[in-house]
A and B are shown apart, each in its own frame.
Chain A
Amino acid sequence: MRSRNSTMVVIVAMIVSLVGAQAQSRYGIGRPATPDEISGWNIDIGRDGRGLPSGSGSVSHGREIFVQQCATCHGEKAEGAVGDRLAGGQGTLATAKPVRTVGSYWPYAPTLFDYIRRAMPQNAPQSLSNDDVYAVSAYILSLNGIVPADATLDAKSLAAIRMPNRDGFGGDPRPDVK
């Protein structure tokens, strides 16, 4: 009886210490992030298009915005200047002079929306409307022959695009020199 009691004491002590340890595993620092706060900050677009907002934009509208906002750095036809070349180069990746562009190198079309929205134009990032970002994405894809010149893109159609270099990436085999 006595030993049973002491066993109980040990078990209770263990439970108390476990609860204590659990409480200690959190510090109670920080405050909850509200859904509004999260949706205001979370601008990540998945490679499958997850997170793409509503709205749409046409190639022709994209051309107008591109000329106003992008051509100074990227060239009128996205041939590149201070900014990266964005068009052409398909079929060059395995040659001595690979040309890496959205059309030849980028594996996923939704990444284009993600990047333009978060970082472009360089002098005023996050200033374009979602419609304008769809439009500029459409224009760049059309310059690469990936969508037709009369295309209009939205969340569904952008996510459905299969980029030419989609399967052009592999993992890290290093150490590769021994």
Chain B
Amino acid sequence: MTRQNDSRDNARTTRRHLLRAGAAAGGTMIVAGLSGREAVAASEATDNLPPNVPEWMKTPGEPMGGQSYGTPSPFEKHVVKNISKNLPQYLSASGRTPLQDLDGIITPNGLFYERHHGGVPAIDPEQHRLMIHGLVERPLIFTVDDIRRFPSESRIHFLECSGNPTYKKPFGKTASDLVGLLSCAEWTGVSLKLVLQEAGLQPGAKWVVAEGADAAALTRSIPIEKCLDDALLVYSQNGERLRPQQGYPLRLLLPGFEGNMNVKWLRRLHVTSEPAYSREETSKYTDLMPDGVAREFTFYMEAKSIITRPSGGQRLTDRGFHEITGIAWSGRGKISKVEVSVDGGESWQDAKLQEPILTRALTRFRLPWQWNGQPTVIQSRAIDETGYVQPTLAELIAVRGDNSFYHNNAIWPWQIGAEGEVSNALA
């Protein structure tokens, strides 16, 4: 028994050395597959393991006040945003949530995915204003404090970038590489409908053009039906004020709509009779079909799921019991079912869905599984309350061709190798 424990500890130590070597060699993200606890806590010595009393019980810990804003344990240092080191530029760029390292459905604010088109502005909220004009009875200007005076509400919703992932190789290695432009938070703000009513909509008000106060002055046009339905003007995320990367001090939240429409650093709402046809909604965020015609105004993110554990870059260390877990979501409503296959798609079984199952939010699913040590392919598919079933990549490409870029909601299978190594089965 002791020998077994010792050999396991030795194995961990060896793995840690490998990690260090890997980091030194290229600093790749392969390390994300191993938990920091496992990697770091494996002390060379076994002084802190039974039957010994660990050193952190023999002396007082850090006194109150060491950190006025808490940060994760230093042993969790590797759980960070997944930001490519080879981007052509970093002003118009994106950084991904490390989905495979997270539990539950709420993304911590510091790990929420980012996409900006002209850098992150440093906005003094005292000098920030929201203007509403156009087809309204009363053009108005609000301070951030004004917005906070309106009746507030909090809701949990996911946000997902429309290009998450693309349809073409090379595909990413990890869950984060593939669909890490996805996060979920509890948002607090005011119903956009209330604020629009304050200005009074004129007949003929069909669209609202939202503009950000960033260096891209990014503009997207929102159909009035969405604005009067579940759209929010948001100032807080997971209980604290928005982070600058998420639009501080004010952003638009359009549950289920593609990420870029949820305009950050919101400064202007122009009520109009037709869309702006801005650069972002014509030359970008449109999908080219095989016949050369592009789809535009493709707002909703369709049902999707991914297994986050075990997932690409991780390794099953033993045969026997493993919990398969992942996340599912749909821009069109609630997740009604997630099916998981552990035999390359031959058969499917229902995963257990974690309550609460919320509209346009991440839903956590789980399936107990016994791994027999043989190579196999595991995958999940989501079904939402409209009855829509998450398609395969081949099914999507059969309809949309090779030139479509956004709105890829394909099933993503993971290959389990003979040694327990997990990799992208489509890569």
- The reply to whether the CB of B118 lies closer than 8 angstroms to some CB of chain A is yes
| Complex interface: stretch among A41-49, A54-62, A148-156 | A41-49
Complex interface residues of chain A between 106 and 163 (CB less than 8 A to chain B) = 106-108, 111, 114-115, 118-119, 122, 125-126
A-B contacts, 23 listed (Cβ < 8 Å):
A27-B198, A29-B146, A29-B198, A33-B141, A38-B131, A44-B209, A46-B276, A47-B277, A93-B403, A94-B290, A94-B292, A98-B288, A105-B294, A107-B277, A107-B282, A119-B117, A122-B91, A125-B216, A168-B294, A169-B293, A172-B299, A175-B386, A177-B395
Decide if B219 is an interface residue (CB 8 Å cutoff).
Answer: yes
> Taking the complex as formed, is A2 at the interface, i.e. its CB lies under 8 A from any CB of chain B?
no
Contact check, B298 vs A172: say whether CB atoms are below 8 A apart. Answer: yes
Min Cβ gap B14→A in Å is 43
Q: Does A30 contact B (CB under 8 A)?
A: yes
Residues of the B chain whose Cβ atoms lie less than 8 Å from the Cβ of A31: 140-141
A-chain residues with CB within 8 Å of residue B199 when the two chains form the complex: 30
- Say yes or no: A100 contacts B288, CB within 8 Å: yes
- Size of A's binding interface in residues, CB under 8 A: 46
The verdict on B396 contacting chain A, using a C-beta distance below 8 Å, is yes
| Chain A residues proximal to chain B, CB less than 8 Å | 25-27, 29-33, 37-38, 41-44, 46-47, 82, 93-94, 96, 98, 100, 102, 105-108, 111, 114-115, 118-119, 122, 125-126, 168-178
For the complex formed, measure the closest distance between the CB of B303 and the CB atoms of chain A, giving whole angstroms: 9
A174 partner, pick from B141, B294, B302, beta carbons under 8 A: B302
Going nearest first, the 5 A-B pairs with the smallest beta carbon separation are A94-B292, A93-B292, A118-B217, A115-B279, A33-B139
Q: Is the CB of A114 within 8 A of B279?
A: yes
Query: Taking the complex as formed, is B322 at the interface, i.e. its CB lies under 8 A from any CB of chain A?
Result: no
Q: How far is the CA of A55 from the CA of B173 in the complex (A)?
A: 52
Contact of A42 among B270, B298, B399 (CB under 8 A): B270
Apart from A44-B209, A46-B277, A119-B218, list 10 A-B contacts with CB within 8 A: A25-B197, A29-B142, A96-B402, A111-B283, A114-B279, A119-B118, A169-B295, A172-B300, A176-B399, A177-B398
B198 and A26 form a contact (CB under 8 A): yes
Main secondary structure of the interface of A (DSSP, over half): loop
Contacts of B270 in A (CB 8 A): 42, 44
Within 8 A of A (CB), among B100-128: 117-118
Which residues of A are found within 8 Å of B91, using beta-carbon distances?
Answer: 122
Residues in B with CB closer than 8 Å to A98 are: 288, 292, 403
The answer to whether B353 has its CB under 8 Å from any CB of chain A is no
Q: Please give the distance in Å from B101's CB to the nearest CB on chain A.
A: 31
Say whether B278 contacts A177, CB under 8 Å: no
A170 and B288 within 8 A (CB):
no
Task: Indicate if the CB atoms of A43 and B132 lie closer than 8 Å.
Answer: no
Interface centre among B117, B197, B267, B279 (most CB of A within 10 A): B279
- B-chain residues with CB within 8 Å of residue A30 when the two chains form the complex: 140-142, 146, 198-199
Q: Say yes or no: A125 contacts B215, CB within 8 Å.
A: yes
B241 close to chain A: CB less than 8 A: no
